[in-house]
Amino acid sequence: IPNCEFVPGKAEVVLPGLMSQLSSAGGGLTAVVNPSRAGLHPKVVRALRNQPSIHRLVYVSCKPDGEAMRNFRDLCCPPDPQRKLVGDAFSPTLAVPVDLFPHTPHCEVVLLFER
């Protein structure tokens, strides 16, 4: 994939350092996250939210009714300087449930956020 870069490591450690590189890359970037059931670390949410180059965010959630709901709220709420969420808010534009485990109550949800 020529226009894609994969960065290994814990997102809360790696992502804040990548933000300066993303700023020089121009706009129109898409980020893809697939966190554990615990959702994204608050540092990751802040880094994504406060990076104006990221216009689209694909969030793959294995438990959308759990801690991920906090992430969705923080990505979409009005700017809140006290919580260091100063970037433009995302808006959820698409949600697709994916039944990877038929005949069980578990379901993945792929959400698209845009701004």
Residues annotated as catalytic (active site), given as ranges: 62
Q: Is 95 helix (H, G, I), strand (E, B) or coil?
A: strand
- Return d(Cα 9, Cα 98) in angstroms, integer: 26
Consult the annotation and say whether 71 binds a ligand: no
> What is the full DSSP assignment across 31-79?
EEE---TT---HHHHHHHHT-TTEEEEEEEES-TTTTHHHHHHHHHSPP
- The pair phi, psi for residue 49, each rounded to 5°, is -65, -40
Beta pairing class for 29-33 and 54-61: parallel
Annotated binding site: 34
Annotated binding site for S-adenosyl-L-methionine: 34
